[in-house]
Structure 1
């Protein structure tokens, strides 16, 4: 009897061990990619941030440890705080506007009207277009003369009262222009997420709301929004993280100008590391950038969990 129990125990242990090894084996490709492209680069950034590393080291200068000198230089740099301010401005405006537009589009196409599939394709199509291509197209739309489409359109609808603006060449409108094209390009992705959530809401709830005399606005706030809570949380967190990565539009259109009005953290890191070739300084800046994004993401997750607990 004991021999049978021992044999069963051995088989169970052997089976469990095999499952563990199979699990590690299946996870190995993803873990290797994570290690090579995320963990190791971050550790290298932390290391180089405490050195005087240059892209091309001068012949008479050796790689040396400088401690937290690069970090102290960052907090004494005016450009860093300008870039941080511009990045936060973009995040605080683009995230809610893009999320609201995506929700509005999802509600608009959440029906069985004719040609609705065509409209869904049209609204989603900017997502699959390269941001470089989008930037080039918008640079033509935002031309500073009357030949620019947006200037011509606004001039027409205002019966000539609107004067053409230097959209990308004016510090007052350059960041707004970047926000407009970014929201237009990215709203389709969030729209699909909201659309999936809307299609899972039972139609009977809206019918019950109509019977109770609830109007469209009341049904939206009492039925739609509460049942889209998970989608809203995901969209807000993911859009915030993506907004911090603002780079391609800046490289393609403004180069951080005019007068540093579109200088962002990612572009500043790129500029210091690959143009000025200060790898150590840029690495320190990237570490601080990661910490800022991580803190904001943790705060968002904490607030979302708290709101779910209250509900």
Structure 2
């Protein structure tokens, strides 16, 4: 009796081949490229995560914990938990803290609108198609890339009694100006720093305004001109609505930078004269490191963080899209 031989390529043979270990792809082989991709991604992200943990998360957590203690930078006694005493002390028993809050608020109230408005004006000027406009952009942006420490030292010499500022005013007034030591006068020290800060950072926000202006389609201006719109009407109905996202970003960044004023104060006045230029950040650094009251300095830093967060949220709510 003959046994039928199954031909090669029949369904039974195909099934056997598919089931054999040599021809069936394993789960490990299928997943290995994906696993290698995940490992590569984790390897690339790891340095940034480690740096963020070391220089952002850990310091914030330490500041939060130290703000409820009486820790000192160098002390034989261990830190002791004091609850909210540091915060009560800041608002009731530290007049310098209250003065620093007032100075910080005054600085931000003046710098934010003036710097944003001046940056927009400069951006509108350098957005024109004129010969040599690139040179003006570079000139306006040079103070931004210059070290703020160097700029503060130069302006400190310019503000002296025999400095460049008084010499220029004396020339313009034909000798009628007697001159003053700008940084040694309680009435002029903070305004002098405000002028320096606006001059140094306005170029950065000019570039941001300029990038926003160049995203507005030219067809909108052509349509407005065909409808007989004046330049003022074009700015009101075309330019300003198109700059709304840019405006929100600029206001938030300027406000955060203004509330964090420190370098100019540390280099030029050290908070004087008579604490007329002390700011929150400078006061926190002075209490925490120079006077070694780490717990109290951390509490001031936490108050500063809450203040900046509240101002940023209020700004974001006021400038949000109505629709």
Same fold (TM over 0.5): yes
Which aligned pairs between 1:153-232 and structure 2 lie closer than 5 A? 153-232=168-247
Moved more, 216-225 or 161-170: 161-170
Aligned equivalent of 1:133:
150
Find the structure with the greater CA-based Rg.
Answer: 2
Which residue, out of 57, 62, 65, partners 1:47? 65
Pairwise CA distance, 1:155: 3.1
Change (3 A) 1:154 1:64: same
Structure 1 residues without counterparts, runs of 5 or longer = none
Change (3 A) 1:206 1:66: same
Give distance in 2, aligned partners of 1:136 and 1:309.
45
Aligned equivalent of 2:4:
none
Aligned equivalent of 2:91:
75
Query: Does residue 117 of structure 2 align to residue 100 of structure 1?
Result: yes
Name the TM-score, length of structure 1 as normaliser.
0.88
Aligned equivalent of 1:118:
135
Give distance in 2, aligned partners of 1:139 and 1:294.
32
Aligned equivalent of 2:49:
31
Aligned equivalent of 1:65:
81
Structure 2 residues without counterparts, runs of 5 or longer = 1-14, 20-24
Pairwise CA distance, 1:52: 1.7
Aligned equivalent of 2:266:
251
Residue deviations 1:280-303 (CA, integer Å, cap 9, x gap): 110111111111111111222222
Aligned equivalent of 2:102:
85
3-state DSSP class of the match of 1:258?
Answer: coil
Query: Does residue 257 of structure 2 align to residue 242 of structure 1?
Result: yes
Give distance in 2, aligned partners of 1:227 and 1:9.
53
Moved more, 76-85 or 16-25: 16-25
Q: CA RMSD in A?
A: 2.4
Aligned equivalent of 1:309:
322
Change (3 A) 1:108 1:288: same
Pairwise CA distance, 1:205: 2.2
Give distance in 1, aligned partners of 2:29 and 2:91.
61
